[in-house]
Structure 1
Amino acid sequence: MLPERSLPHAAPGPRRGLLATLVLALLCLPLSASTPVIPGPPPRLVLWAWERPEDLRFLEGRAVDVAFLLATLDLTDEDVHELPRRQPLRVPPGVALKATVRLQMVPGSSLARFNPERLEDLAQRLDVLARRHDVTALQLDFDARGSETDAYVDLLQRLRTRLPPGMSLSITGLASWCVPGGWIARAAVDEVVPQLFRMGPDAPVWRARFSRGLPPPCSGSMGLAVDEWGPVPPGVSTLYLFNPRPWTPEAFARAVAETQS
């Protein structure tokens, strides 16, 4: 709730003048100071399934999606080394699957040094990866450095034009990307998932900054870790959950309880 604004001191005069001044001051108060915030429905959950054996068949009949690590691409200035998923993933029929691809630069390399031809080749490779599986979305997990953001925006635009119609393009993001006027607004994506965990000593600062909502295009989705729970800002309709251990029915039940508390 916003702090109440101080009422102006009324000049001595008739009681009617004082009442009018008070009414005028109350009308000038922000609506948020007196209007209660009605909480919306709990966000839809998406479980991240990373590179380890995951048996998620206990999700049968639940409105939960799964974003699974499909592959990791190690990038150098000259080459791309693909590491496909090697661990089994079991999900019940009907669960919507999102394919997550981790992009990571080999030390000493930079996406900023990728020329247009290399960016086009990388976009084509990602498109081929996504089409190999029955997925509803492709999600990129890349910690772009400041010097790489222009190249990343270029890559995303090239990939967006290649993906089949109806396939959503999502990216994970750092908290520092989600500031008004930031470069992320130029990214041709359907979803930005700021990861509000493992943020180090600045975590309280960012959580306080986002406590009243995330700015677009980061406002609809966010990611949390089950071992580092934090408040979900208003306006978040999709909540991604990371578990450092394999998912179990008990861990999932605890996560659901947290979202509803």
Structure 2
Amino acid sequence: MSSCSKRSRLPSCRPQPHSIREAILSTIYYPSQPARRRPRRFLHSLSCALLLLGSANLLAKTAPPKPVAAEESSAFASRQAALSALPPLMLWVGERPDDVRTWIDGSARQGKGAADSPAPSIQDQRMGVAVLDTTVLLRDGSASVRRRQQSLKLPPAWYAQNRLQQKAPVVTIVHIEMARGAHKPTLNERQKRTIVNAVVAAATRSPSQVVQLDFEVMHSQKPFLADVVKRSRDALPANVALSITALASWCVGDAWLADLPVDEVVPTAFHMDGEAKRMRDVLDHDGRFPRPECQPSLGLSLDEQPWPSKLRSQRLYLFNRNVWSGTPMASWSVRLGAIFP
């Protein structure tokens, strides 16, 4: 899910800073626009009105406490509940303009068995999105944070009052990109803190209360990743689930993932280079990887076919080299329906 590197899982453009949670109107993720300056006459009138209102409140009796907002009261009570509420099929969305409405609406209507059924509610979703929210670039001893800039169109039913509803099946992703060669990162304390802060910030923009860390490391760098995961878990609210992507090789015979305090491990069973045949043989044999922590979820790519003949994971993440808006769902509905009827 890298935004720039060759080993990237998520395709990229040029990321720019913005808040993915703030939406313009109803169906587009995009940075909020700066407010236009108001005329002085308007500001003067507004100030007078506020002063009068404040004076009246001083004379009034103490008002009862306001009820908790609907969005706050409807939050998942636990991270286990948040994770289990995600749909069985998740679309990975990279840093580029895209529109997933056709895929989302089509999957829900197929689930209802009626092509002309009304727009699906959040509870009806059989498909969600995991969107690249933040990229942290580690270079030498520094760490720079880039936030998403590209728009993403989502179903109108996922919005209320011009913002995403709480519990909408949208997972925010933090991707860690490491420079190579002469600028190989030192993996110092500052870089570690920057990653943890980025994960916590991305979690606040996740209506699903699930945040995903995408950090591909070499064997010698595993202790650094493990400490980042542990610190992230400690810093996140108790009701926010932490998901991580994992190399397929980490899920075959290597038990180090079992010690990480994560709620979901997503093995990326594609772009596996020299291990592709061995990993595919493992999946073809049992439909999942042998490590228990790697079994509930799985990541596959549309451009690597055929998929394993039998899949036993409860949740599938799909990578698409092309934009979802340019990929007809009809050509994939039969294959996806066979996996998740």
TM-score by length of 1: 0.76
Alignment of 1:97-112 (within 5 A): 97-107=170-180, 108-110=183-185
Q: Deviations over 1:106-127 (max 9, x none)?
A: 223346x423x65244312320
SS at match of 2:294: coil
- Equivalent in the alignment of 1:70: 133
- In structure 2, the CA distance between the partners of 1:89 and 1:114, relative to structure 1 (3 Å rule), is same
Letter paired with 1:129: A
- In structure 2, the CA distance between the partners of 1:253 and 1:164, relative to structure 1 (3 Å rule), is farther
Indicate yes or no: 2:88 matched with 1:44: yes
- In structure 2, the CA distance between the partners of 1:174 and 1:232, relative to structure 1 (3 Å rule), is farther
SS at match of 1:236: coil
Q: Which of 184, 188, 201 pairs up with 1:114?
A: 188
Question: Structure 1: which 4+ aligned runs deviate by more than 6 Å?
Answer: none
Letter paired with 1:245: N
- Equivalent in the alignment of 2:154: 91
Letter paired with 1:114: N
Q: Is the 8 A contact 1:98 1:139 kept in 2?
A: yes
Name stretches of at least 5 consecutive residues in structure 2 with no aligned partner. 1-86, 106-119, 159-167
Q: Is the 8 A contact 1:77 1:114 kept in 2?
A: no
Question: Structure 1 CA distance, aligned partners of 2:98 and 2:300?
Answer: 19
Q: Which of 194, 219, 230 pairs up with 2:295?
A: 219
Name stretches of at least 5 consecutive residues in structure 1 with no aligned partner. 1-42
SS at match of 2:292: coil
Question: Structure 2 CA distance, aligned partners of 1:75 and 1:110?
Answer: 6
Using CA pairs below 8 Å that are at least 6 residues apart, which structure has the higher relative contact order?
A: 2
- Equivalent in the alignment of 1:29: none
SS at match of 1:197: coil
- In structure 2, the CA distance between the partners of 1:249 and 1:53, relative to structure 1 (3 Å rule), is closer
Q: Is the 8 A contact 1:169 1:189 kept in 2?
A: yes
Choose 1 or 2 for highest CA Rg: 1
1:220 positional shift: 0.8
Q: Is the 8 A contact 2:283 2:311 kept in 1?
A: no
Q: Is the 8 A contact 2:211 2:242 kept in 1?
A: yes
Indicate yes or no: 2:252 matched with 1:175: no
Q: Is the 8 A contact 1:69 1:85 kept in 2?
A: yes
SS at match of 2:198: helix
Q: Is the 8 A contact 2:173 2:202 kept in 1?
A: no
SS at match of 1:239: strand
Question: Structure 2 CA distance, aligned partners of 1:96 and 1:232?
Answer: 28
Question: Structure 2 CA distance, aligned partners of 1:89 and 1:207?
Answer: 32
SS at match of 2:96: coil
1:247 positional shift: 0.7
Q: Deviations over 1:15-70 (max 9, x none)?
A: xxxxxxxxxxxxxxxxxxxxxxxxxxxx8110011111111222232421100010
Indicate yes or no: 2:238 matched with 1:238: no
Q: Deviations over 1:71-127 (max 9, x none)?
A: 21101342211121111011113341000111011223346x423x65244312320
Q: Deviations over 1:166-216 (max 9, x none)?
A: 211111111111123432222211111111111124312111123313121
Q: Which of 240, 247, 252 pairs up with 2:329?
A: 252
- Equivalent in the alignment of 1:207: 280
- Equivalent in the alignment of 2:164: none
Letter paired with 1:126: V
Question: Structure 2 CA distance, aligned partners of 1:103 and 1:89?
Answer: 21
Indicate yes or no: 2:220 matched with 1:143: no
SS at match of 1:248: helix
TM-score by length of 2: 0.59
Question: Structure 1 CA distance, aligned partners of 2:198 and 2:275?
Answer: 36
Question: Structure 2 CA distance, aligned partners of 1:77 and 1:126?
Answer: 21
- In structure 2, the CA distance between the partners of 1:175 and 1:79, relative to structure 1 (3 Å rule), is same
Question: Structure 2 CA distance, aligned partners of 1:245 and 1:48?
Answer: 11
SS at match of 1:164: coil
Out of 93-102 and 123-132, give the one that drifted further. Answer: 123-132
Identity of aligned residues (%): 32
Alpha carbon RMSD of aligned pairs, Å? 2.2
